[in-house]
């Protein structure tokens, strides 16, 4: 089976490629390398293409006859999405529609979509099941919710089959240390803490210590990127076997506060990490914790690398490599 991995040179996409190395699937990548890295393509064929160029996308899809498309490419910074929503609607909605419509024209009707827990906004229930009301509180979450609605409509109208995976907080690095998280600029919690520990960053900022939590900092569900890749593989297999569209949460079903992450990071790095407290960021919910029972029961998925110590140790190994390379 031939599969196109869109955004395969990025953080999660590159870990998906690594997981595919143990399979017989024929894999190619489409990426514009705006945030990804060519080294992450791991010797797979790379099509350097921007999804805004619909003619180019159509040409690649037509010439290569893929059966499935996995879509990892999107803009993901919640804070930036408030400042520049135009970028987010163009990249996450319009460009994704370009991809979907090219697929539709060529009758490529199998799609794995990277969605987000941000579609839930401030949830009414914790842990969050897939049946929780969709009520995003930031433009980033809005863009993902729009595409989920499009996919539902495309399935009803055209038989377009998909699985949408709602990630909670993706984190960690590959266990072998070969790839990891490398955003420019970096905005994710764990890399920011570890960059401060390694000396690449002067200090770490905690945004808000007045949340209604045990230590005042917000709580998130952290899921290792290798567990996310495994969820994609199982979703792919399920989609091709059942031809049934579905939505799954990808989370650890445990919540940790920012201070809990910070304190464990100090222990693992054996470093006193400089930090400061700042005001809350707009659009940051108090807590997001997944109920992952559905994907466990239906796809037999279970997180293997998502205990907090493993997450931080793999991320620290990667950070030490990056700090020596720079």
pLDDT of residue 77: 92
Outline which parts of the chain fall under CATH 3.90.25.10: 189-220+253-325
The pTM for the full model equals 0.97
Alpha-carbon distance values, 305 to 12, 174, 272 (Å): 15, 10, 26
Buried b (16+ CB within 10 A) or exposed e, 133-163: eeebbbbbbbbbbbbbebbeebbeeeebbbb
List, in order, residues 6 or more apart from 112 with CB less than 8 Å away.
68, 69, 70, 71, 162, 163, 165, 232, 235, 236, 239
pLDDT of residue 183: 85
Question: Token digits for 177?
Answer: 């240390």
Among 64, 62, 78, 53, residue whose Cα is nearest residue 29:
64
pLDDT of residue 109: 98
What residues are annotated to the active site?
140
User: For residue 261, how many other CB atoms are within 10 A of its CB?
Assistant: 21
List, in order, residues 6 or more apart from 177 with CB less than 8 Å away.
314, 317, 318, 321
pLDDT of residue 130: 98
pLDDT of residue 263: 97
For domain 189-220+253-325, give the fold. UDP-galactose 4-epimerase; domain 1 (3.90.25)
pLDDT of residue 284: 86
pLDDT of residue 326: 67
The DSSP letter of residue 159 is -
Residue ranges in the chain modelled with pLDDT below 70: 326
pLDDT of residue 324: 86
Outline which parts of the chain fall under CATH 3.40.50.720: 2-171+223-250
CATH 3.40.50.720 correct for 2-171+223-250: yes
The DSSP letter of residue 129 is P
């Amino acid at each position: 089976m031939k599969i196109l991995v869109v955004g395969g040179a990025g953080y999660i996409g590159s870990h998906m490629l690594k997981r595919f190395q143990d399979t017989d699937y024929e894999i190619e990548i489409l990426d514009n390398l705006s945030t990804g890295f060519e080294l992450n393509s791991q010797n797979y064929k790379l099509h350097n293409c921007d999804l805004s160029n619909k003619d180019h996308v159509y040409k690649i899809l037509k010439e290569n006859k893929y059966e499935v498309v996995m879509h990892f490419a999107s803009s993901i910074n919640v804070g930036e999405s408030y400042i520049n929503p135009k970028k987010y609607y163009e990249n996450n909605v319009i460009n994704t529609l370009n991809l979907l419509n090219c697929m539709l024209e060529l009758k490529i009707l199998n799609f794995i979509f990277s969605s987000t827990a941000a579609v839930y906004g401030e949830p009414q229930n914790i842990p969050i099941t897939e049946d929780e009301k969709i009520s995003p509180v930031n433009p980033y979450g809005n863009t993902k919710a729009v595409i989920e609605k499009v996919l539902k409509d495309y399935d009803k109208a055209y038989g377009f089959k998909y699985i949408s995976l709602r990630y909670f907080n993706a984190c960690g690095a590959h266990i072998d240390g070969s790839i990891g998280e490398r955003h420019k600029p970096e905005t994710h919690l764990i890399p920011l803490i570890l960059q401060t520990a390694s000396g690449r960053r002067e200090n770490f900022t905690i945004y808000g210590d007045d949340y209604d939590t045990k230590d005042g900092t917000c709580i998130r569900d952290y899921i290792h990127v290798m567990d996310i890749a495994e969820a994609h593989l199982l979703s792919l297999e399920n989609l091709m076997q059942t031809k049934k569209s579905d939505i799954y949460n990808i989370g650890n079903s445990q919540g940790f506060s920012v201070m809990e992450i910070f304190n464990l990071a100090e222990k693992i790095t054996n470093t006193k990490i400089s930090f400061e407290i700042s005001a809350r960021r707009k659009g940051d919910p108090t807590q997001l914790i997944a109920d992952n029972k559905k994907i466990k029961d239906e796809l037999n998925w279970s997180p293997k690398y998502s205990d907090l110590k493993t997450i931080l140790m793999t991320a620290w190994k990667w950070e030490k490599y990056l700090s020596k390379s720079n």
